[in-house]
Amino acid sequence: MKNKHFGKVAVLMGGISAEREVSFMSGEGVLKALLSQGIDAHAFDPAERDMSELKREGFTRCFIALHGRFGEDGTVQGALELMGIPYTGSGVMASSISMDKVMTKRIWRFEGLATPAWSQVSSAAQTRAAFVQLGSPMIVKPAREGSTIGLTKVTALEQCDAAYALASQHDSLVLCEQFIAGDEVTCPLLGDTHAPQALPLIRIVAPDGNYDYQNKYFTDTTQYLVPAGLPAGEEEAIAELAKQAYQVLGCRGWARADVMIDAVTRKPYLLEINTSPGMTGHSLVPMSARAQGMSYEELCVNLLAHTALDSAGSSGSARTIA
């Protein structure tokens, strides 16, 4: 059978995070692609089945199509490490840090990488204080969620209480962040920590500049521009910034760095990095790969070929725990 060397592959999808719905969309796309390439792939929802069944049923690799907490944050990665089943994407520590936007920004700032000013808050009063400090507009969002879930763009002090209340429904850690007005771009990355490859940048033009959950996944009005159409030299500089962001966090396999470009200074600012990016029909990594001549199916096989374990030290290698 074609690609039989991959063995029995579990596509992890669903899960228990707020991004469960999107995870199914990603996972079903990946599953179909792997099956089309002759890979013995099976859907596996950790919310419905115990993770120990992966080892008991003889799975040899996992393609992680989970998004958000309990999937993208190092927890599933740790379970797979214990079972000795190689998986796609970053390891335990890089996954955990990258899921926490505050920790990510602290590391980037320490390493001298530009990221918007921010404040971590734990009350509505602190959110109001952050607004006075950071200015208008200000973004208020959960520190450990994705897909713009629980996010509010605050333009007046009286909006702070409601913004904090919404974000804190999803996470006890809430991030207030300076809003950077300008072009929004994303840079997909593939490869190991030390030598990542940047795929073509995508410039995102959302209706009224509102790239929210609905406009990300369920409408066709958002424009995705590949090539990004940036001024000469900017695309290369942003790709280099994204590579550095990936490297200092210890990411591997793949990720997607989101960047805002200040409209006045043209300075790029790192917003966050996703270590288990979406693979839906609207998703950006497949779109960027396609612009470089890599099909969705080829991308999925490429990612699967680079499954790894922290404890093994090399991509695609397996280790069995007795």
> Using one digit for the tens of pLDDT, what is the confidence trace for 85-144?
999 999 999 999 999 999 999 999 999 999 999 999 999 999 999 999 999 999 999 998
User: CB neighbours of 1 closer than 8 A, spacing ≥ 6?
Assistant: 38, 40
The phi-psi region of residue 137 (left if phi > 0; otherwise alpha if psi is between -120 and 50; otherwise beta) is: beta
Q: Say which residue, 282 or 57, is predicted with more confidence.
A: 57
Q: Across residues 233-260, what is the average pLDDT?
A: 97
Q: Number of H helices and number of E strands within the chain?
A: 11, 13
What is the third-level CATH fold of 97-115+181-299? D-amino Acid Aminotransferase; Chain A, domain 1 (3.30.470)
Measured CA to CA, the distance from residue 110 to residue 106 in angstroms comes to: 6
Annotation says 252 is catalytic: no
Q: Which of 20, 61, 128, 256 is catalytic?
A: 256
pLDDT classification of 263: cutoffs 50, 70, 90: very high
Q: Across residues 235-241, what is the average pLDDT?
A: 96
Q: Which of 26, 95, 274, 276 is catalytic?
A: 274
Annotation says 217 is catalytic: yes
Does domain 4-88 match CATH 3.40.50.20? yes
Measured CA to CA, the distance from residue 282 to residue 131 in angstroms comes to: 33
Tell if the pTM clears 0.75, that is, is over it: yes
**Structure confidence at residue 213 (pLDDT):** 54
Q: C-alpha distances in angstroms, 245 versus 191, 231, 250, 266?
A: 14, 22, 9, 18
Q: What is the pLDDT of residues 168-189, one digit of tens each?
A: 999 899 999 999 999 999 999 9
Measuring CA to CA, which residue among 125, 129, 141, 137 is closest to residue 173?
141
* 215, pLDDT greater than 60: no
Annotation says 40 is catalytic: no
Per domain, the residue ranges of the chain are 4-88, 97-115+181-299, 118-178
* 321, pLDDT greater than 50: no
Annotation says 278 is catalytic: yes
- CATH code: domain 118-178 is 3.30.1490.20
**Structure confidence at residue 314 (pLDDT):** 43
Contact 108, 115 (CB under 8 A): yes
Strand partners, 308: 87, 315
Q: Which of 87, 164, 217, 269 is catalytic?
A: 217
Q: Which of 14, 15, 19, 145 is catalytic?
A: 19
Q: Which of 90, 119, 147, 215 is catalytic?
A: 147
Measured CA to CA, the distance from residue 128 to residue 142 in angstroms comes to: 16
**Structure confidence at residue 273 (pLDDT):** 96
Most confident of 45-54, 220-229, 274-283: 45-54
Burial tier of 223 (Cβ tally within 10 Å: 0-12, 13-18, 19+): exposed
* 80, pLDDT greater than 50: yes
Given the structure tokens 């190991």, which residue do they identify?
A: 192
**Structure confidence at residue 313 (pLDDT):** 58
> In whole numbers, what is the pLDDT of the chain averaged over residues?
91
Q: What is the pLDDT of residues 144-161, one digit of tens each?
A: 887 578 999 999 999 999
